[in-house]
Amino acid sequence: MHDSDDLKKIFPSFSDELINEIETNAIHQSYKAGEVIMRTGQYINNTLLVTKGQIKIYREGENGGEFFMYYLQPGQACAVSMICATQSQTSQIMAKVVVDVELIMIPLSLMEKWMMKFRSWYEFVLFTYRTRFEEVLEVVDSIAFRAMDERLEFYLKRHAEACGCKDLKLSHQEIATELNTSREVISRLLKKMEQRGLLRLHRNQIELLT
């Protein structure tokens, strides 16, 4: 499914020995768009490395809410799975595939061994922790300090960054769910943004102009 060159491209910071270890030990897995990879409360025994596709990470509310936290992209690892894996804890988040995904599963035991053995793995793990922690703190900012209009802009910006394009394939209902508000509110705010010239609205698609 992957050869060393591929892996080296996706995880450029990994040392050659580490790449070799991954090659020989890892389990490959793929998922289709729409699938839920991980559910809240599920036990985690592996660390996940994404090699292809896109995953969205959500925090689930008691009443079925699905609050969007962040994207997982190729070359990234699931911080929650790393933290939990080291102690066989349950997942605090839900992960849903957006674009068909291929990933590598690293068993708990290896994850720990590598921390001691490979400097580049150690640094990757800490980098993952740090960037995710910071991203979650930014999410806290957006809900703690900002009103829905700014939160919506923040949301759209992050989605544009993730897909690397200006045309977002999102319905108003989808956005509303992921921001834990109602469709009408999103429709109205989007309409205002369109009037301000920030974007153009189409069916199932938002074209950013900025």
Partner DNA sequence: TATAAACAGTAACATTTATCACATTGTGCA
Partner DNA sequence: TGCACAATGTGATAAATGTTACTGTTTATA
The distance of closest approach from Cβ of residue 49 to a second copy in the complex, given in angstroms and rounded to an integer, is: 18
20 binds a second copy (CB under 8 A): no
Q: How far is the CB of 186 from a second copy (least distance, A)?
A: 15
137 binds, among DNA, a second copy, none (CB under 5 to 8 A by kind): a second copy
Which residue, 86 or 180, has its beta carbon nearer to DNA? 180
Nearer to DNA among residue 11 and residue 58 (C-beta):
58
**Shortest distance, CB of residue 180 to a second copy, whole angstroms?**
5
Task: Give the interface size with a second copy as a residue count (CB under 8 A).
Answer: 35
Map tokens 């190729």 to a residue: 74
Kindly tell me which of 60 and 149 has the beta carbon lying closer to DNA: 149
Angle at 188 between CA 185 and CA 193, to 5 degrees: 120
Q: Considering only residues 162-181, where is the footprint of DNA by CB under 7 A? A: 171-173, 180-181
> How distant, in Å, are the alpha carbons of 24, 41, 58, 127, 146 from that of 106?
11, 20, 22, 17, 38
Closest by alpha carbon to 162, among 56, 52, 48, 38? 56
Residues 110 and 26: their CA atoms lie apart, in Å, by 9
Contact 22, 48 (CB under 8 A): no
103/106 Cα distance (integer angstroms): 10
Give me the residues that bind a second copy (CB under 8 A), please. Answer: 59, 61-63, 65, 67, 69, 79-80, 83-84, 86-87, 89, 92-93, 115-116, 122, 126-127, 129-130, 132-134, 136-137, 139-141, 143-145, 180
